[in-house]
Amino acid sequence: MPERVIKIILPTDQAEDAINLLKSQDNLTYWQEELSSKTFVASILTDSTKSEEVMDLFEKKFLKNSVFKLILFPVEASIPRIREEESTNYPSEEKSNKLRISREELYSDIVDSAKLNNIFVLMTILSTVVVSIGLLKNNVAVIIGAMVIAPYLGPNVALAFSSVLAEKKLGADALKTLITVGLIVVALSSGIGLIIDFDASIVEISSRTSIGYGEIILALASGAAGVLAFTTGASSAVIGVMVAVALLPPLAVFGLLIGAGEFSLALGALLLFLTNIICVNLSGIATFLYQGVSPRTWYDTDKARKATRRSLALWISTLVLLDVIIFIWSN
């Protein structure tokens, strides 16, 4: 796993407490950078999988201090390298065994990726145009190209992340982003379907008007892979393609068929999209739980557990309801 530098800023009168806290952790690489009449600054070099425990340790002790600041930096390389056997005796051995980046780093990455802004809207418009052309031309390569630029991984991961941390604002922002881009996709693809005559039996279109076990497995795998990409700090670009494949083409097919007046087939595409988005978020929540992502304090943890249970119950019951509707509709 990559390394991180944690910079700690405290008032000078708290320097001794900070040093004692650092000394209490065996084999922890740290150094004092500055000690002035007002400010004490120290830095810690640690594995990214251990950074959360160290950050929690200092946050718990110094959070109420108005001068306290804790800043995390990624490290490209360090010599000598931190060896696995040296990274021991951290505050929570159970948590440190999880191969993921810190909660705070996750939050920063996920919040940024779920923001609704002009670039997000523009990427949505471009990916919708490209995927619509690919669907109408029955061209798989063009469809995959559209998935590369479709920015749908972030808001779905944010929605799942908000459940495990009980972050209502993050969940509301992610939901707002998903609904907005969904309306854009449907409106744009409906316009294209209204203007261009096409054969609804085209394989790339007709294959997305029904649901099978393969589509459900794809959506579950996509959600899990997307969360793993975020939690391990790996590149999410390729994983984002998987999520986009599960979401964008069915929604674009729905719009195209609505524009063409093929309402019965359009319903099948809509059901496929809804099933996929439920599965992506369901597996996303499960993967966050597996990775041990939770709030720092016991109070917030209890609140997050209740929120997670409610979210899981909602997604599972909605999926069951959709399956019943799909069964009735297909027969």
pLDDT in tens, the chain (331 residues): 678 899 999 998 898 899 988 888 777 888 888 777 788 899 998 888 888 888 888 988 888 888 899 999 888 887 776 665 554 454 444 444 467 888 888 888 888 888 888 999 999 999 999 999 999 999 999 998 888 888 888 898 899 999 898 888 999 999 999 999 999 999 999 999 999 999 999 999 999 988 877 888 888 888 888 888 878 776 666 667 777 888 899 999 999 999 999 998 999 999 999 998 999 899 999 999 988 888 877 667 788 888 899 989 988 998 888 888 877 776 6
User: Mapping DSSP to helix (H, G, I), strand (E, B) and coil, where does residue 166 land?
Assistant: coil
Say if residue 92 is in the same domain as residue 108.
Answer: no
Place of tokens 């966050």: 288
Q: Are 25 and 90 in contact (CB under 8 A)?
A: yes
Please report, as a single letter, which amino acid is at residue 178. Answer: L
Into how many domains does the chain fold? 2
Residue at a domain's end among 96, 115, 142? 96
Say if residue 23 is in the same domain as residue 132.
Answer: no
Say if residue 158 is in the same domain as residue 88.
Answer: no
Residue at a domain's end among 47, 63, 96? 96
Range of the domain at 322: 103-330
Say if residue 127 is in the same domain as residue 53.
Answer: no
Give the C-alpha separation, 216 to 77, whole Å. 40
Say if residue 15 is in the same domain as residue 115.
Answer: no
Say if residue 251 is in the same domain as residue 284.
Answer: yes
Alpha carbons within 13 angstroms on the beta-carbon side of residue 41 total: 9
Residue 31 tokens, joined: 């150094």
Place of tokens 């810190």: 102
User: What are the residues facing 43 on neighbouring strands?
Assistant: 7, 31
Angle value at C-alpha 128, between 227 and 185, nearest 5 degrees: 85
Residue at a domain's end among 96, 112, 143? 96
Report CA Rg, the chain: 24
Say if residue 13 is in the same domain as residue 126.
Answer: no
Say if residue 198 is in the same domain as residue 54.
Answer: no
Give the C-alpha separation, 56 to 262, whole Å. 55
Say if residue 157 is in the same domain as residue 224.
Answer: yes
Which residues fall within 8 angstroms of residue 319, CB to CB, at 6 or more apart? 275, 278, 279, 282
pTM, two decimals, is 0.80
Q: Are 26 and 92 in contact (CB under 8 A)?
A: no
* DSSP H or E stretch at residue 191: helix 168-195
User: Mapping DSSP to helix (H, G, I), strand (E, B) and coil, where does residue 309 land?
Assistant: helix
Say if residue 160 is in the same domain as residue 287.
Answer: yes
Give the C-alpha separation, 110 to 156, whole Å. 10
Say if residue 232 is in the same domain as residue 84.
Answer: no
Say if residue 149 is in the same domain as residue 202.
Answer: yes
Read off the CATH number of the domain in which 38 is found: 3.30.70.120
Give the C-alpha separation, 67 to 79, whole Å. 32
Q: Are 67 and 41 in contact (CB under 8 A)?
A: no
